[in-house]
Structure 1
Amino acid sequence: MAIQTIKMPDIGEGIAEVELVAWHIKVGDVVAEDQILADVMTDKATVEIPSHVAGTVVSLNAAVGEVVAVGTEIIHIEVSNDALALVDKAQAAIKDEAIKEEVTKAVAAPAPALPSKATRSPQTTATVKMSALSEHHHPIAAPAVRRRAWELGVDLNLVSATGPAGRITLADLERYGATSNADQLANREAATPDQRYAQQSAEEVIPVIGLRRKIAQKMQEAKRHIPHFTYVEEIDVTELEELRARLNAQFAATRGRLTLLPFLMRAIVLAVRDHPEVNARFDDEANQLTRFAAVHLGLATQTAGGLMVPVIRHAESLDLWASAAAVLRVSEAARGAKAARDELSGSTITLTSLGALGGIVSTPVINHPEVAIVGTNRMVERPMMKNGQVVARKMMNLSSSFDHRVVDGMNAAEFIQQIRGYLECPGTLLV
């Protein structure tokens, strides 16, 4: 019998400390070799910590939310033959349970063969008939009754029938509705006015840990270091939407569907060629700007845990369909908590979109140490003047923020106007 120590491993890439975001074990648990013990977070990437030994957990030496240095002792595990035997027993039990479940499914899957007419008993016959009736029963009701049920939002399967041959009548439906309304009224009356309008004094203290802590730190850092200014422009995307519809009708089956994002990506890539100052990162300590020929596009993505920014590398080399595939790949990886560390760092400019929730105007926060972020707002159809006529056009605002230390207002305006030109003449994106 011996005590094995598990230390916080070196994740690599110069990481000196991580945040413990979840324990998957507790003191007294028997663990197997390679079993996941904990989740830690580095920047915005979550990393699983496995066990290199089998045994019984003696102590956990860090709390959820604690920042732990690499090399710190975090777990003590007692290793013994008994513990190994318990692990084997537990694994065998799990395996047996899985086998039993599969056997049960296999037995239950096929329909049971019916006994011959000569051998089956009256009880068996009745059971079979009732089973068939329950499986294939549909409520009997006249079209007028069905329409009334649809208007009331009533499931006819829940209504007791009193008509001939089990038919549901309008009276049955009204009776069910009256009973249901009485129940709802009783529930409402149970909540007295005093309860519904009572003052509330409860408080809940929620530790800001994990991804939410990283987001808080990142936002605070961005607003503390970067003097933001936001530029908003209105864009007519009617022709863009028509082109997108034509391309999807012709190529969706073979190349995949295009959303608006690939067109925005391509417009940004083309505009960056003439405005390299926005595709850059600013080093606050060295007081220097690094411009990049490559466009490593950060894509702001909402996940269950909070906002993440996976990176599409070398967006300048992607056509519309490759861009669409990249958007799908990185966003799914982020939402599924499967994005690797190198997929969450190294962006040079960021694109953010809230889709239908985008509102009219927003003031996006720059992804420090970048110097620009392009944001899309909600697309709406509005009456607009064109060639002296009032016509319906699809309009969308771009709300973009810039680092005023290195991007002047004129530069930002020219950059966005160039993006506008590409989007309003979408054929130029394909040249």
Structure 2
Amino acid sequence: MSPKKRFEFAFPDIGEGLAEGKVLELKVQPGQRVKQGQTLAIVETDKVVADIPSPRDGTLVSFGVKEGEIIEVGRTLAVLELEEPDSGGGEAGMEEERSLVGNLETATSAELPPSREGREAAPAGPPVTAGTTAPGLGQPVAASPVARKLAARQGIDLAAVHGTGPGGRVLRKDIAETAENGRPPAAGRVQPLSTLRRALASNMERSNAIPSAVIHELVPVEELVALRRALNEGRGGEGQVPRLSYLPFFLKFAGLALREYPLLNAAYHPQRQEVEQFGEVNLGVAVDTEEGLAVPVIRRADGLSLPQLQAEVDRLAAAARGRTLRLEELRGGTFTLTNYGAFAGLYARPLILPPQVAILGLGRIHEQPVARGGAWAAVPHLPLSLVFDHRVLDGVYAARFLRRFMDLAARPQELLLL
């Protein structure tokens, strides 16, 4: 009989800049055999809810973490017992195994599939016993992401809900039943930030430390409004191509302007005091989701047509709100646009997404009075707010970029000549 060897599986870095994740569910029990690729745990990271697969065949000896706990990258997630011949490496072999698991993402092309809301019903878990205790006082309540959303939306205290999922986990149906039977009063309590919100908070603190400057401008866009209206004639009906929003135009203008002013299409590395200029224009688009802000990336945006840009915006926004974005769709951004004007606001000071060096805020298009031929006319205007890293860029260079963007926005027919 082949000797058995223990293998410590460390939680891998499955997202750019990921430092930790929250364990939502452990999918197997100690003593249970697992196959390579079988889901061991479901972990919420700062970007996605991901299934963490087993890297090897074997038998689960133990988990190094409990449901509801935070696990840091590199910490042991699970210990497996492998039925493989011993290579004779002893402790050295174990150390080699430990060093490999941290490179799970680059060691395989397999994609970690995101968790699906409303996933297929799993077999009912064992009742809560002394071996599977419910959360104690002050500990987070085990609940599915959807259940947490519904509870927050309806003002239901998760601690007062009886969970029917594995290990007493609160499910969506538990929230629905509680709402139907009369919700318990929501007690005032201190609630820890979600994994995503903690990541956002950390990023915002880093961004706020950047010595940045902002330029506000206002550009007339009556020709853009007329062009978009003309292009949308016959679009948007059933079976027809989607209508164009303003965002594809803004993306196109930014991409073309960045070609001429490449210092804004760059990253700054303060530890090395180096500026990295990128050969591609990969534009990040801020998307508001129920879980928080996400910034998916449209690659080589300057080379895409308006319909192609619209299709990418729609696809990535839907994936962000459904938490089905692939990790590579969140990486590699070289410049970011935030279209807060689609909701409200004229001017703002959006925060730069490090290590990028600039971000462009787009305000609400609105009519402004303009004197023409001795009379007043109501003309649509677009407010702009360009925030840039003053360590890398001077104000004149940034203003010239913004001027080029404004020229394109004021005369969008120029796109035909480029």
TM-score range, shorter chain: 0.5 to 0.7
Determine which of 33, 41, 48 is the counterpart of 2:51. 48
Counterpart in 1 of 2:351?
365
Q: Please state how far the C-alpha of 1:319 moved relative to its aligned partner.
A: 1.0
Q: Deviations over 1:400-419 (max 9, x none)?
A: 21001111111111111111
Q: Deviations over 1:55-90 (max 9, x none)?
A: 99976624535232336044789xxxxxxxxxxxxx
Tell me, yes or no, if structure 1 residue 344 matches structure 2 residue 327: no
> Which of 267-276 and 67-76 deviates more?
67-76
Determine which of 207, 224, 227 is the counterpart of 1:222. 207
| Residue type at the aligned position of 1:261 | L
Counterpart in 2 of 1:406?
392
Tell me, yes or no, if structure 1 residue 61 matches structure 2 residue 65: yes
Q: Please state how far the C-alpha of 1:228 moved relative to its aligned partner.
A: 1.3
Calculate the TM-score normalised by the size of structure 1.
Answer: 0.63
Counterpart in 2 of 1:196?
none
> Which of 253-262 and 242-251 deviates more?
253-262
CA distance in 1, matches of 2:25, 2:285: 30
Tell me, yes or no, if structure 1 residue 7 matches structure 2 residue 9: yes
Tell me, yes or no, if structure 1 residue 235 matches structure 2 residue 219: yes
Q: Deviations over 1:373-397 (max 9, x none)?
A: 0111112223322333211221220
Determine which of 317, 320, 339 is the counterpart of 1:353. 339
Q: Please state how far the C-alpha of 1:326 moved relative to its aligned partner.
A: 1.1
Note the 1:387-406 alignment, pairs <5 A: 387-406=373-392
Tell me if structure 1 keeps the 8 A contact 2:267–2:276: yes
Provide the secondary structure at the position in 1 that maps to 2:337.
strand
Q: Deviations over 1:27-70 (max 9, x none)?
A: 89999877645333555344212467899997662453523233
Tell me, yes or no, if structure 1 residue 293 matches structure 2 residue 279: yes
Rate the CA distance shift 1:389–1:36 in 2: closer, same or farther, 3 A: farther
CA distance in 2, matches of 1:57, 1:337: 31
Note the 1:369-380 alignment, pairs <5 A: 369-380=355-366
**Gapped runs of 5+ residues in structure 2?**
82-120, 125-186
Determine which of 62, 72, 77 is the counterpart of 2:76. 72
Provide the secondary structure at the position in 1 that maps to 2:307.
helix
Tell me if structure 2 keeps the 8 A contact 1:358–1:376: no
CA distance in 1, matches of 2:17, 2:205: 21
Counterpart in 1 of 2:407?
421
Tell me if structure 1 keeps the 8 A contact 2:13–2:73: no
CA distance in 2, matches of 1:50, 1:370: 33
Tell me if structure 1 keeps the 8 A contact 2:65–2:71: no
| Residue type at the aligned position of 2:71 | V
CA distance in 2, matches of 1:286, 1:93: 53
**Gapped runs of 5+ residues in structure 1?**
78-90, 95-201
Tell me if structure 2 keeps the 8 A contact 1:275–1:415: yes
Rate the CA distance shift 1:61–1:42 in 2: closer, same or farther, 3 A: closer
Larger helix fraction of residues: 1
Rate the CA distance shift 1:54–1:325 in 2: closer, same or farther, 3 A: same
CA distance in 1, matches of 2:272, 2:194: 31
Q: Please state how far the C-alpha of 1:296 moved relative to its aligned partner.
A: 0.5
| Residue type at the aligned position of 2:189 | E
Q: Please state how far the C-alpha of 1:14 moved relative to its aligned partner.
A: 9.2
Counterpart in 2 of 1:206?
191
| Residue type at the aligned position of 1:317 | G
Tell me if structure 2 keeps the 8 A contact 1:281–1:348: yes
Alignment RMSD (CA, Å): 3.6
Tell me if structure 2 keeps the 8 A contact 1:18–1:70: no
CA distance in 2, matches of 1:265, 1:93: 47
Q: Please state how far the C-alpha of 1:317 moved relative to its aligned partner.
A: 1.2
Q: Please state how far the C-alpha of 1:424 moved relative to its aligned partner.
A: 0.9
CA distance in 1, matches of 2:18, 2:76: 11
Provide the identity percentage.
Answer: 33
Determine which of 327, 330, 350 is the counterpart of 2:313. 327
| Residue type at the aligned position of 1:327 | V
Q: Please state how far the C-alpha of 1:10 moved relative to its aligned partner.
A: 3.7
Matched residues, number: 312
Provide the secondary structure at the position in 2 that maps to 1:44.
coil
Tell me if structure 2 keeps the 8 A contact 1:8–1:68: no
Q: Please state how far the C-alpha of 1:21 moved relative to its aligned partner.
A: 4.5
Determine which of 370, 375, 382 is the counterpart of 1:384. 370
| Residue type at the aligned position of 1:244 | R
CA distance in 2, matches of 1:57, 1:412: 58
Note the 1:112-131 alignment, pairs <5 A: none
CA distance in 2, matches of 1:232, 1:307: 23
Counterpart in 2 of 1:112?
none
Counterpart in 2 of 1:88?
none
Q: Please state how far the C-alpha of 1:355 moved relative to its aligned partner.
A: 3.5
| Residue type at the aligned position of 2:230 | R
Provide the secondary structure at the position in 2 that maps to 1:331.
helix
Determine which of 15, 20, 23 is the counterpart of 2:22. 20
Provide the secondary structure at the position in 2 that maps to 1:249.
coil
Q: Please state how far the C-alpha of 1:229 moved relative to its aligned partner.
A: 1.0
Instruction: Give the structure with higher Rg (CA).
Output: 1
Rate the CA distance shift 1:17–1:420 in 2: closer, same or farther, 3 A: closer
Tell me if structure 2 keeps the 8 A contact 1:30–1:56: yes
